[in-house]
Amino acid sequence: MTLIKSISGIRGTIGGAVGENLTPIDAVKFASAYGVWLKQQRHKEQYKVVVGRDARLSGKMIQNLVMNTLVGLGIDVVDVGLSTTPTVEIAVPMEHADGGIILTASHNPKQWNALKLLNKDGEFLDADEGAKILEIAESDTMSFADVDNLGNITKNKAYIDLHIIEVLDLDLVNVKAIEEERFRVVVDGVNSTGGIAIPLLLERLGVDVIKIHCNPNGEFPHNPEPLKEHLTDLSEAVKEHKADFGIVVDPDVDRLAFMDENGDMFGEEYTLVACADYVLSRTPGNTVSNMSSTRALKDITEKHGGIYEASAVGEVNVVKLMKKNKVVIGGEGNGGIIYPASHYGRDALVGVALFLSLLADKKMKVSELRKSYPNYFMGKKKIELTPGLDVDGILNTIEERYAKENLTTIDGVKIDFAESWVHLRKSNTEPIIRIYTEAKSQVEADALGDKFIDEILDISRR
């Protein structure tokens, strides 16, 4: 079906033709290229890589291929097994490893998988590093270890627990106040590793946990992207159990969304807004999110006396700008919380703990908390790419048409109007053009998205 190579990793569908999908041969090729690149960077006698996976059906197969490829390169592997993306990220520096690989296609459906590649700090590779690995993958210069110098695999299943301990030890996580509130929370783990990690964290915080879809068997009970239309089971469970709120994560637990006590979405965009509100109230500073994220973060940041700036889409781009601006919290509007006091990676466990600390401090219902924030509405639409569609040409034409507006072109084209904005860009993770909009009402946001879809289609026909 498709194989996508980007700063988000090597992502594709399982099965099919080599080079067009994520086949075993492709998994070995790109794991080999990563291992060769890693050895070129570090110049050591011994190398170590942490490898973990989400629960999707192809995970065990891909993980075994990847780990044994690294072994063939003479690299030692720490197998953390079923894990989360942020857990692997914190495991890399804890293990003093040279890098890490997470086998997950994040929010993509079950037929997808991917190799997400980390550096020695447990952070995603940048565009230049990714390009070098792709270059190595297409070369014939890869050399493997002889029989006396093969790597070894060791298993360590303790890292989810270690990750939870690290979260609970954060200065702004008010464990005592959370325990005193005795929250009741429903968790939808989409039958992946969030069903392991999130309930364990909540139980350590004294929360009464009701679990749905928390069996990590990889059989996703609904589309794994944590959007309102996919979460009817969670909404019904929150109301049935009279819970204080609901939590849903994506399969690798780096995206986080909440549902209020009425079974209504808190708004995936507002996960970061709420967590930033709490952090900024205690550690004043600046924030960063990507260009496709809500204006509400800018409003909240300025309310607390800080400065907000937007980066290009992609976690590595957000992190780069966060470090440059020395921000206290940042992330992505898709529910990705990046809290530097923990680590530079999107982390749903950190987000849950900060959100609970905020609720314990505010002593208000989740629906009341949502009403306390600036109210924007976002539309998220997409156009499937077809062979021959000139995306760059289309975006250049849009840029020319709206040259008199407030334009940003560091990542596709973003047009900021007085009361709304639209962001058009080619996805890093799917063969689509994304059309994100935001306005003062859902009707206006959707209408703006439809308007630009019509424009794109009209341009493509010329």
Residues designated as active site: 106
Q: How many CB atoms lie within 10 A of CB 454?
A: 10
Q: How far apart are CA 166 and CA 6, in angstroms?
A: 30
Q: Which tokens sit at 136?
A: 């190595």
Tally Cβ neighbours within 10 Å of residue 279: 24
DSSP at 260: -
* Contacts of 406-413 spanning 24+ positions with Cβ under 8 A: 408/291, 408/310, 410/291, 410/311, 410/312, 411/290, 411/291, 411/312, 411/313, 411/314, 411/317
Regarding beta strands 432-439 and 421-426, do their DSSP bridges make them parallel or antiparallel, or are they unpaired?
Answer: antiparallel
Residue 147 CB contacts under 8 Å (≥ 6 apart), including other chains = none
3-state helix, strand, coil in the chain (%, to 5): 40, 25, 35
d(C-alpha 165, C-alpha 42), whole Å = 30
Specify the 3-state DSSP secondary structure of 99.
Answer: strand
Do 131 and 138 form a contact (C-beta atoms < 8 A)? no
User: CB–CB of 187/246 below 8 Å?
Assistant: yes
Token pair listed for 128: 């230049």
SS3 33: helix
